[in-house]
Amino acid sequence: MKIEVWSDFVCPFCYIGKRRLEHAMEKFAHRDKVTVEYKSYQLDPTAKHIPGKDYYETFSELKGIPLEQVKVMNQQVAEQATTVGLTYHFDTAKYANTFDAHRVAKFAETKGKGKEITERFLHAYFTESKLMSDHQTLVELAGEVGLNKEDVKHVLDANLHAKNVREDINEARQIGVQGVPFFVFNEKYAVSGAQPEEVFSEVLEKVWEEEAKKPVLQSLNPNKQGTSYCTDDGCEIKE
């Protein structure tokens, strides 16, 4: 089974949804037959870090939402994160553009480190308040998961893997993704949002069961008499 996950590194529900899927997979009997691929998505392609303004202020101005309402809303999200063992620090988070981080993630995939870099980047943003648009930060984080820092620096400086990121984003548009996280199972079944763990468990079982079913053919022969056929023992001609 293949699961494709569209997400963004600054999407709070993407990290929560990721954990819930992982918890469901831990209980899934066929988890060793499942591969997960993370796809790029940007909630705000025009986002940029504004020094001197904290996350709440930036979000409030961009979305036109009162500051206190932003704080309450994000506190509720942070409380949800704790239910899956995650710690969010919105008070020190740094609003940033994630395009370059996605490029590094695409490079990490070529080195077999796609899942590792996704986890590291999400933790860095929500728990450690790292600036995810800063190149040196991205290089250091990539080095922590085993990537060569000089290679990562070259990826960033040469604008490599930008095409791969845009392809993921364009694919998301084509299949109707309007928000993330967005999960696609075996290119046939879609789950939108950070659904409860039970939902992911049900989907895993349903997809596995349906994909494992052998097609049953129904005979259209009008009758068995007068049928010529061959078996392992030879061929018979019926009159």
Checking 75-82 for CB contacts under 8 A at 24+ apart, the result is: 77/12, 77/13, 78/12, 80/16, 81/12, 81/15, 81/16, 81/126
- pLDDT over threshold 60, residue 118: yes
What's the confidence (pLDDT) of residue 214?
A: 59
Could you tell me if residue 230 is inside a domain?
no
Close Cβ partners of 172 (under 8 Å, ≥ 6 residues apart): 6, 39, 41, 182
Separation between Cα atoms, residue 66 and residue 49, nearest integer Å: 20
Mean pLDDT calculated for residue range 86-102? 97
Question: What's the pLDDT tens digit per position in 128-143?
Answer: 999 999 999 999 999 9
Close Cβ partners of 104 (under 8 Å, ≥ 6 residues apart): 117, 138, 142, 152, 155, 156, 161
The CATH number of residue 191's host domain is 3.40.30.10
Report which listed range, 46-50, 148-152, 209-213, 230-234, is most confident. 148-152
Cβ burial, residue 147 (10 Å; 0-12/13-18/19+): buried
What's the confidence (pLDDT) of residue 187?
A: 92
Q: Which of 124-133, 179-188, 216-225 has the weakest average pLDDT? A: 216-225
Could you tell me if residue 237 is inside a domain?
no
Could you tell me if residue 82 is inside a domain?
yes
**Residue 135 vs residues 160, 162, 165: alpha-carbon distances, Å:** 13, 15, 17
- pLDDT over threshold 60, residue 219: no
What's the confidence (pLDDT) of residue 232?
A: 55
Which residues span the domain enclosing 59? 2-212
> Given pLDDT bands bounded at 50, 70 and 90, which one contains residue 164?
very high
- Residue 47: helix, strand or coil by DSSP? coil
- pLDDT over threshold 60, residue 239: no
Could you tell me if residue 185 is inside a domain?
yes
Could you tell me if residue 225 is inside a domain?
no
- pLDDT over threshold 60, residue 88: yes
Could you tell me if residue 61 is inside a domain?
yes
Q: Which of 85-99, 120-134, 215-229 has the weakest average pLDDT? A: 215-229
Count of domains observed in the chain: 1
